[in-house]
Chain A
């Protein structure tokens, strides 16, 4: 084809001040294949676009080069203009003479010469452009939500209420996440379970939500719009359809070997147990490692007592396949393990704080359980060692967080707020007690947060000391806390009855393996990576997979809920389209030439190339070949680079095009 139109933009002063646009226009007009070359002040404006459309029609242009800003800015704009004039949008290219030229060079002569070169290269490329059509990808309008804490629950409800089906997978026996175990939430001091449990029930009963509790993601195949996910439903040894949740089994279970995970080890639980009374589903689960039947083939009391015949010791894990179009990851967090011995060599614990050594040194989630009305002490604040009411409680902030020497540099965001909350909850229950807080800074930036912290100090008498704690030892039943007050410039030693450590939020265990199954990225701490920290906080770089909640970064409940709705919104945007379209600038294998060495299959970072067979009508095998999956390919070009027989090339950026551009340059 040889009817290229070149449009050179002044971009006001941005380009024209440095690049001599008239000279560039003259030069472009003389390039081989160029039918017309014009310049204009703002090509992206409405009149500018109109000019493009008019020129396409008037000069019967077969291709466009717009020499202006970065394609990130306006490629879509110009392609849309071309399409409106009846020209295939993929016959439009841009030469970046702003970010790559006028904005980085000062010398007018040199910048002008460079702009001409850039346009010449791009013209050479466009001469070899092919008309392409967007790729249509089928779309399954079902969503998978992984994790049923407050974020997962919110996302699932939003999508389900919009009329789409949701598969909700939760690893624990019950939904609710960490929020189900909290006592009261800041800044309103709402009862956590009271505001969460209605949502939990809704999620358990919603006609559009399929809940797989006590289940994990086994494997993920496919691509955006067409995921095939295998879910492992772990054996409960209890048939949840037959079970009525009456409690005869766990009331009679003799085993008390294990400590309750829900109470973070503060109280024992049975071998057959429901994690907490408001669990959804309200059905128990048997822990094989604590159950006498599994350990030595004894007992069996629960089975005998169960009138619904719901106990099934022969239960096995089941694998279920779900087909979904989008995935939302909401796997939440765990607390930094503050004991001295760490599983991960990158982190070192706090030997100096005696957690794990002294019973009355606990972490913040354990304190939540102590304060919680449904907790192991019925909401009375009793210290673990002897059940006495502590009169002096020390709260230590930044345990694990903001501590590079221990491996975690980030701020855990919520601890300042919940520590203030803890001092208030403590004071509300122990009127003659004193709460001390050792802090470095107070981060209370949310709505009503600053006032909340001031309330803790001004109304509820919390004693704040600005300084870290160096060491905690135990003498005669008292915990000697050696801290500092840097504002006063003195060391401060407190004899405490109990110490609460505000440990850092970290991503849940197993999230790295899950991320690898979903092919999404994570940072050095294991937090899942968003696509863009400012503008795309709930998307990932993998199409169709979204993230929300604490798995992305430490955050509080309002933020988690907001992100969950945002992720649901993104999913619904995708579902609202009916079908998915993808850019066609992807790799294409010449299946005749392909030697089926599969180097591309091995190197593709998106696993977008499959091994395929070409057969004749009778079904006989003719040859093997590699085949690009148009739904997954991101057009990165890695396969083109590794293919030894040059059988694969990129549409819209072929090797011939690149060669042409280089030739035009030299």
Chain B
């Protein structure tokens, strides 16, 4: 069913103007009880052009991308996709709330790790993440937490200090660099239109 009006465009490759704020996304969201702003409200902010406010919501960092909202939306709006894009924009602008900074740091450490290795090195990732988190909030329990996990993993042969490496790591770096340059340009344009 096509509802595109002349002024409307796509956000996150979905017709965000089609959302009629029924709240079904909020109703099925496993994290809604903890969010400051409900998923349908985040979509509403995007609808009315309040992208700055949307980027400041904690909700986008609570989101676990379970896709329940997108799957059940009666208007086929990709709510999870909208959360992704708002999160991408916020990360690009370094708008990350301190309460959920760890989520951002983890994702960032993940990508840095993949960029370097081509594949994820879990041990390295955990080390990098914990360090980065510690540098921000000096939380020692978090730093030391899960250290007891290491021997358990080792016992089970699940602990890999050095994993199987990707041979052509250069292409991975180049892919990353091309995507990062491109995305920065896109976010700037999106920000201007907001």
Chain A positions near chain B (C-beta within 8 angstroms): 352, 398, 402-406, 409, 440, 466-471, 482-486, 489-492
Binding site for A on B (CB under 8 A): 1, 20-29, 32-33, 37-38, 40-41, 68, 72-76
- If A405-B76, A489-B37 are given as contacts, then 16 extra A-B residue pairs at C-beta distance below 8 Å, sorted by A number, are A402-B20, A409-B1, A440-B20, A440-B22, A468-B22, A470-B24, A470-B29, A470-B68, A470-B72, A471-B27, A471-B72, A483-B23, A483-B27, A485-B23, A489-B41, A491-B32
Q: Are A489 and B27 in contact (CB under 8 A)?
A: no
- Pairs A–B under 8 Å by Cβ, sample size 21: A402-B74, A404-B1, A405-B74, A409-B1, A468-B22, A468-B74, A469-B27, A470-B24, A470-B26, A470-B72, A471-B27, A471-B28, A482-B28, A484-B38, A485-B23, A486-B21, A486-B22, A491-B26, A491-B29, A491-B38, A492-B27
The 10 closest A-B pairs by CB, nearest first: A470-B28, A467-B23, A484-B23, A470-B27, A468-B24, A484-B27, A403-B74, A484-B26, A486-B23, A468-B22
Which of A403, A466, A468, A469 has the most B CB atoms < 10 Å from its CB?
Answer: A468
Across the interface, which residues of B come within 8 angstroms of A467, CB to CB?
Answer: 22-24, 26-27
Is the pair B75, A405 in contact by a Cβ cutoff of 8 Å? yes
Residue of A with least CB distance to B20: A440
CB contacts (< 8 Å) of B74 on chain A: these are 402-406, 468
- Classify the secondary structure of A's interface with B: strand
> By the criterion CB–CB under 8 Å, are A484 and B33 in contact?
no
Q: Which residues of B contact A398 (CB under 8 A)?
A: 22
Q: Least Cβ distance of B188 to chain A in Å?
A: 31
Q: Is the CB of A352 within 8 A of B26?
A: no
Residues of chain A within 8 A of B68, CB atoms compared:
470
Question: Which listed residue, B1, B21, B22, B27, touches A482 by the CB 8 Å rule?
Answer: B27
Contacts of B27 in A (CB 8 A): 467-471, 482-484, 491-492
B68 nearest CB neighbor, chain A only: A470
Residues of A within 8 A of B73 (CB): 405
Most A CB contacts (10 A, CB to CB) among B23, B28, B72 go to B23
Provide the bound-state CA to CA distance between A163 and B32, in Å. 66
- Interface pair B28/A486, CB less than 8 Å apart: no
Contacts of A405 in B (CB 8 A): 72-76
CB B81 to nearest CB in A, in angstroms, measures 15
Roughly how many angstroms separate A402 CA and B21 CA in the complex, as a whole number?
12
Chain B residue numbers with a CB within 8 Å of A491 are 26-27, 29, 32-33, 38
Q: How far is the CB of A576 from chain B (nearest CB, A)?
A: 44
Closest to B24 in A: A468
The distance from the CB of B43 to the nearest CB of chain A, in whole angstroms, is 11
Contacts A402-B74, A404-B75 known; A486 to B1 CB distance under 8 Å?
no
Q: Which residue of chain A has the shortest Cβ distance to B26 in the bound complex?
A: A484
Partner of B38 from A466, A469, A490 at Cβ < 8 Å: A490
Task: Pick the contact of B40: A406, A469, A471, A486 (CB < 8 A).
Answer: A486
Q: Within 8 Å CB of B25, what residues of A?
A: 470
Q: Note all chain A residues with C-beta closer than 8 A to B32.
A: 484, 490-491
A409 to B25, CA, bound (A): 18
- Note all chain A residues with C-beta closer than 8 A to B38: 484, 486, 489-491
B41: chain A residues at CB < 8 Å are 486, 489
CB distance from B76 to the nearest CB of A (A): 5
CA of A296 to CA of B5 in the docked complex: distance in angstroms?
63
| Distance in Å: Cβ of B2 to nearest Cβ of chain A | 10
How far does the Cβ of B120 sit from chain A's closest Cβ, in whole Å?
33
User: In the bound complex, what is the Cα–Cα distance between A485 and B1 (angstroms)?
Assistant: 27
- Residue in A404, A440, A471, A486 whose beta carbon sits within 8 Å of that of B26 in the complex: A486
Residues of B within 8 A of A466 (CB): 23
A642 CA / B41 CA spacing, docked (Å)? 59
Q: Are A352 and B22 in contact (CB under 8 A)?
A: no
Contact B28 A404 (CB under 8 A): no
**A482 CA / B24 CA spacing, docked (Å):** 9
Shortest B131–chain A CB gap in Å is 36
Q: Which residue of chain B lies nearest to A486 when distances are taken between CB atoms in the complex?
A: B23
Q: How far is the CB of B49 from chain A (nearest CB, A)?
A: 19
Tell me which of A352, A403, A440, A470 has the highest count of chain B C-beta atoms within 10 A of its own C-beta: A470
Residue of A nearest to B69 (CB): A470
Q: Considering the chains assembled together, what is the distance between the CA atoms of A409 and B3 in angstroms?
A: 11
- Considering the chains assembled together, what is the distance between the CA atoms of A352 and B28 in angstroms? 10
- Shortest B31–chain A CB gap in Å is 10
| Residue of A405, A471, A492 with highest tally of chain B CB at under 10 A | A405
Q: Please give, as numbers and ranges, the residues of chain B lying within 8 Å of A483 by CB-CB distance.
A: 23, 27
B37 to chain A: which residues have CB within 8 Å? Answer: 489
Q: Is the CB of B76 within 8 A of A469?
A: no
Q: Which single residue of chain B is at the shortest CB-CB distance from A491?
A: B32
**CA A440 to CA B74, docked complex, whole Å:** 12
Nearest CB in chain B to that of A465: its residue: B23
Q: Point out the residues of chain B lying under 8 angstroms from A490, CB to CB.
A: 32, 38
Q: Which residues of B contact A468 (CB under 8 A)?
A: 22-24, 27, 74
A450 CB to closest chain B CB (Å) equals: 21
Answer whether A484 and B24 are a contact pair too, CB < 8 Å, given A470-B68, A490-B38, A491-B38: yes
Which residue of the partner chain B has the closest CB to A441? B20
User: How many whole Å from B111's CB to the nearest CB in chain A?
Assistant: 31
Smallest CB separation, B119 vs chain A (Å): 36
Chain A positions within 8 Å of B75 at CB level: 404-405
**Chain A min CB distance to B115 (Å):** 37
**Residues in chain B near residue A484, CB distance under 8 A:** 23-24, 26-27, 32, 38, 40
Which residue of chain B has its CB nearest to the CB of A409? B1
Give complex CA distance A352, B73 in Å. 12
CA of A404 to CA of B74, assembled, Å: 6
Report A467 CB to chain B, min CB distance, Å: 3
